[in-house]
Amino acid sequence: MTVAAVLLAAGSGSRVGAGVNKVLLPVCGDAVVTHALRTALGIAEITRIVLVVRDGDQREVADAIVPWLGEREVVLAIGGQTRHASETAALAALRDDILGGTVDVVAIHDAARPFATAALWRAVIEAARTHGGALPGLAMPGLIRRDVASAGADVVERDLVGVQTPQAFWAPDLLEAYDRAAADEFSGTDTAACLARYTEVRTRVIDGDARNIKVTFAEDLPLADALARRDAPA
């Protein structure tokens, strides 16, 4: 049994303020998406990769990734207006493999997170095989709900985590949940919540990685570049 990796790269990246998709912006000389893809390519368990892109970005994304593929194949799928729609497009590309039993786990990763390690990928994949679903999270102590703060109450939320990717799920359950969501015309914003809505899967939270940052705003790019240069081979 093997793993399919889905890299989501169909967002506009408008909050970065660049004229191109943020996954195409350079970090230490390579596109953001290239860093995420190289890690997935290096994981032996991953035998299928689907890269979900925004319509119109196909050529630019292909130019960024082709030099790193070697003999490997990456399927490009066209994403939708929402994360849920983009994940649905990726599952359509993987449907035959999932139904045929050749893919047992699907791991979904935001390509705007260039520094998710191979160890983190393997940890969520293994946890998904054991529990049905897994995602990495970092504890976020000291948070307070906006409504509580507005009321002037001094109440701090505990046991909250910041959710990261990659997130991994037992493939048949994931496909079933998204098929049922399509039948209901339901579009969720969270993969784990969609599974909980339509299946018995309750996603396990594992330890995340503080270095696994997401490029969201313009100020994230210098930090990402510094992290990449720090870890680059001498």
Mean pLDDT of 94-106: 97
Residues 167-223 have pLDDT tens digits of 999 999 999 999 999 999 998 889 999 999 999 999 999 999 999 999 887 777 777
Domain regions of the chain by residue span: 2-231
CATH of the structural domain 2-231, one choice from 3.90.180.10, 3.40.50.720, 3.90.550.10, 3.40.50.1970: 3.90.550.10
Mean pLDDT of 28-43: 93
Q: Coil, helix or strand for 104?
A: strand
Residues 45-62 have pLDDT tens digits of 999 999 999 999 999 999
For residue 59, give every residue at least 6 positions away whose Cβ sits within 8 Å of its Cβ, in sequence order, or none. none
Q: Coil, helix or strand for 18?
A: coil
Question: Which has more confidence, 232 or 49?
Answer: 49
- 159 pLDDT tier (thresholds 50, 70, 90): low
Q: Look at the block and give the residue holding tokens 């849920």.
A: 84
From 165, 233, 223, select the one nearest 27 (Cα to Cα): 223
Residue 150 has a pLDDT of: 55
Q: Give dist(CA 160, CA 176) in Å, integer.
A: 29
Asked if pLDDT for residue 18 goes beyond 60, the answer is no
Angle between the N-to-C axes of helices 171-184 and 83-99, in degrees from 0 to 180, rounded to the nearest 10: 130
Given a contact cutoff of 8 angstroms between Cβ atoms, the answer to whether 128 and 168 are in contact is yes
Given a contact cutoff of 8 angstroms between Cβ atoms, the answer to whether 108 and 91 are in contact is no
Bridge partners of 78?
Answer: 53
Asked if pLDDT for residue 106 goes beyond 60, the answer is yes
For residue 171, give every residue at least 6 positions away whose Cβ sits within 8 Å of its Cβ, in sequence order, or none. 4, 94, 98, 103, 104, 105, 106
Mean pLDDT of 55-75: 93
- 158 pLDDT tier (thresholds 50, 70, 90): low
Q: Look at the block and give the residue holding tokens 């339509």.
A: 198
The pair phi, psi for residue 154, each rounded to 5°, is: -100, 75
Given a contact cutoff of 8 angstroms between Cβ atoms, the answer to whether 61 and 8 are in contact is no
The average confidence (pLDDT) of the chain is 88
SS (H, E, C) 40-54: HHCCCCEEEEEEEEC
Task: List alpha helices for 72-190, DSSP H.
Answer: 83-99, 118-131, 146-150, 171-184
Mean pLDDT of 5-16: 78
